[in-house]
Copies of this chain bind each other. A is one copy, B any other.
């Protein structure tokens, strides 16, 4: 004889005690969660998927320029439908963490990609032309964080920093001075020599050598007058007006990783900014 309680054992219901979160559809087959890297509970499914994906990026499962698994594979892995994976990936594409290539796959963005390079470099010629600057390292030192640096970098005042100064020239003419500070704890092996010998951009260097991906920046811009050092380095009269750009660069989860002050001679170049276009 068969008891009804036995029958229940065979219904396609959750055997692991997982509950389908409110907000999710109950229309279709049984809950597939719990397989492989199942999805934790908490608000929209696609947000959970997105969080898992970002965790995999942070953890290095997929490195910059790698292909990530296909949408079908991700759907199976997380026990969700392809549409849900697509929504998660859509947001990450909008945030410039991933790029899709039809017919090839979805890739982790990389600072080595030439197209990505200009994304954080907003200095263009007065006529709108973009050019790759050449870089020269002027200073390099180990310092301790002052109040401003500590606040922006999320470290304690006095924490050990690595500070260096770059001069950027565009079309042979000095245009920008970057005064950069990073936490020594995050960039332990950063030496003057490795910095000089890097073949590519600084953010590519952070990415390759230290596994730190800059994914977002915040900038505050003001106008100042050139002091003796800036004037001489940029070939200007002391007191000339300069753009001062204070930048904090962040990696995943809004963790600050770099603070820099950029001084720009805007005689021949401008800083561009746009609002209202879907990025």
Q: Quick check: A273 and B241 within 8 Å, CB to CB?
A: no
Chain B residues, CB < 8 A from A229: none
A89 sits at the interface (CB 8 A): no
Knowing A119-B275, A222-B271, the reply to whether A94 touches B95 (Cβ < 8 A) is no
Interface flags, A223-260, vs B, CB<8A=1, else 0: 11100000000000001011100100010000000000
Chain B residues, CB < 8 A from A119: 275-276
Q: Quick check: B219 and A243 within 8 Å, CB to CB?
A: no
For chain A, which range describes its interface: under 10, 10 to 19, 20 to 34, or 35 or more residues? Answer: 35 or more
Q: Quick check: A276 and B221 within 8 Å, CB to CB?
A: no
A279 sits at the interface (CB 8 A): yes
| Among B91, B120, B216, B223, contact of A242 (Cβ-Cβ < 8 Å) | B223
Chain B residues, CB < 8 A from A275: 119-120, 122, 216-217, 219
Chain B residues, CB < 8 A from A222: 243, 266, 269-271
A99 sits at the interface (CB 8 A): no
Interface flags, A86-110, vs B, CB<8A=1, else 0: 0000010011100000000000000
9 A-B pairs in the complex with CB atoms less than 8 angstroms apart: A94-B278, A95-B277, A220-B271, A221-B221, A221-B243, A221-B272, A222-B243, A223-B223, A223-B264
Chain B residues, CB < 8 A from A239: 239
A45 sits at the interface (CB 8 A): no
Q: Quick check: B277 and A223 within 8 Å, CB to CB?
A: no
Residue of B nearest to A83 (CB): B83
A42-B114 Cα distance, complex, nearest whole Å: 32
Chain B residues, CB < 8 A from A120: 275-276
Chain B residues, CB < 8 A from A219: 272-275
